[in-house]
Chain A
Amino acid sequence: MAILSMSKTLFKSLVHGPYTVLYPVKKKETYERTRGRVEINISQCIYCGLCQRRCPTGAIQVNRGNTTWSIDRLKCIQCNYCNEVCPKKCLRMNNEYTSPSFGSVRDDYTNARVSGDKENN
């Protein structure tokens, strides 16, 4: 009969205090490899469209004519495949994840200028 065998852990936790990361106030540190969000250094992009073709979900749209590179944040699965295939290595996986939104988020990058919904960045 082992009853209350949990009590040691319980009291230890009571004394130790919460293990909780008080998230909105304090953030848990991210790691270098943490996959958050794809970003592009648009000035280096050559609009080859390789990322668009390789993207498993079709989140990336590249338009060579308008020199725009855009990504649908609600489609991106952060697989990092685009980054790997990019011949110019101008794509980068950010540590910050895309924050939740009220509607679809499409980040458009035209040459050297970032446009789009600031709130959702």
Chain B
Amino acid sequence: MNIIYALILFPLAAAIVIFFVRNDSIRNAVVKVSAFVVAVLTLCVFAWYFQNGISFTPANGEIIDIVIMVIEVLVAAYLIIAGLKNKKYIVSVFSVIQTTLILWFELTGKQGIEVENSIIFDKLTAIMVLIAGVIGSLICLYAVGYMKWYHKQHKNYKERKYFFLAVLFLFLSAMFGLVLSNDLTWLYFCWEITTLCSYLLIGYTKTEEAKNNSFLALAINLGGGIAFAAAIVFIGINFKTLELSDLIAMKRSATVLIPVFLLSVAALTKSAQFPFSSWLLGAMVAPTPSSALLHSATMVKAGVYLIIRLAPLLGLSTVGIIVTTIGCITFLICSLIAISQTDAKKILAYSTLANLGLIVICASVGTQESIWAAILLVIFHAVSKSLLFLSVGSIEHQIGSRSVEDMDILLHVSRRLSLYMIIGMAGMFLAPFGMLISKWVAMKAFIDSNHILAVIVIAYGSAATLFYWTKWMGKLVSNANVKKQRKHTFFAEEEIPIFIHTVLVVLSCFGFPLISKYALVPFLTDLYGADAIIPIGTSDVKIMIVMLGMLLIIPIGFIPIYKQDKRRIVPIYMAGENTGDNETFYGGNGEKRKVELRNWYLESYFGTKRFSFWCNVISICVLCVGVIVLIGGFAK
């Protein structure tokens, strides 16, 4: 028995078990054990196959095909009924279209197409598996702690923990399948399952808002699914193959670019790029573990994963330019909009969108350097962002609010949590942490490949990124006075995953030369046939390691200085009207008035209203141009 089967099937089994266990403590134990096993399995698979990779087709492929078909039909039926029941007819329509399309193809066109390698495990797959497995299992563990209090704080939601946790594991299984499949029909199946999981989790709370958002997500992703299905049909009919690797190996031509375009559209919907971005923002109503797992760390990465796979066909081709443009718009605009958000999860969502945009740009530029950057971005983003999501979840637990404005007391509530949070944010935008390194390389790659627009976008977008992260960080370090300590509990199930994430963020920065050397360079060399080189010079890497070391050592170095140099503490400057406690001043009528400090959100400048509509219009136009060019056969 191949261990890869275990990787895919074990979470599935776990999901089923968890679904049927209705006792909290037993279920929690099962989840913990399963998460641990998933992590171990992931590491085993990684260790086993990393060096040489593996590609094979399961012996009983046809049975699997049939099982898949049956499940597809069942899922479609469920979605159609759900759509009809909730009067979201578009969902039903989309579901009908794609299922018919794919069924028709399976039953007619597919006959006679031999799939040589249904499953391929190469370096990129290894990285994706590692991300999904390690982060996924950590998040599942976290979910145990999170769900303990979630229903205590939100009494109006129906308690369905078994369902929630089961879907998480189901999703893990699908995600493993997605990154391992080389057979497009299997890939498509897993793709649809992740869509379903996402829909189920967004609708978890069953509120009106959650319901609407879940159907929005479903509609958009099913739309992407149609594009995917169409691409499969097109490839199957025209090229008599269903293997992704074969498609990639083809030469660019107008006909090849059509399925590539369709697949890119599917990827863009999954990665929630403009104009399909609205669903991801809506998805933030779901409980935080699902936001962390599906909507930032792994599932949305499936989209960019597909684009990275397609990268050799993109480059400066028509489709490549279109995808790059869409990525540029998303990156820039979402970075700007994030400035105007107060809800922590919204900020994270916009930041996710922006970073996905950046990865899309990198991947679609399609040079060795840029893909190097894209993959590193995927890794760093997954780790940092899931750390941030988990921390926000815990912060909500501790202080009862998700608003950034309320986080100024966090330093007094839980010092550790704010430290984790700060490290996570630093990981998102500061030198010498991962995201910035990748951004830097991306920039270099864009210059080298003469993508001047992307260069400029990255310059502006990074500046905006700096603004919203720093002001959030500022809230976390601000020493607001809280007179009485709040009581709080920080479950070990919450803290352990967060802590491991934090360590991962730091380690990944130290370790990126290794990742680069052992995973990326061989992968890129294989992909392009030319020797890939690490885009960052060793002297720079050294300096960065020094910087990182400084960041770790200096704070510790300050401890003796602090011990030695005790100072007189004076009240803050309040124009002479202090009352003495740093919290209030004598106000207009002579009575005490509380100082309130709030960050800038520049609503009139960067508000959602100002941007969303026009950006959607522009990106739709860009897509339409793509369609016209491809249909006209002008593509090259």
Q: A and B: direct contact (Cβ < 8 Å)?
A: no
* Chain B interface residues (CB < 8 Å from chain A): none
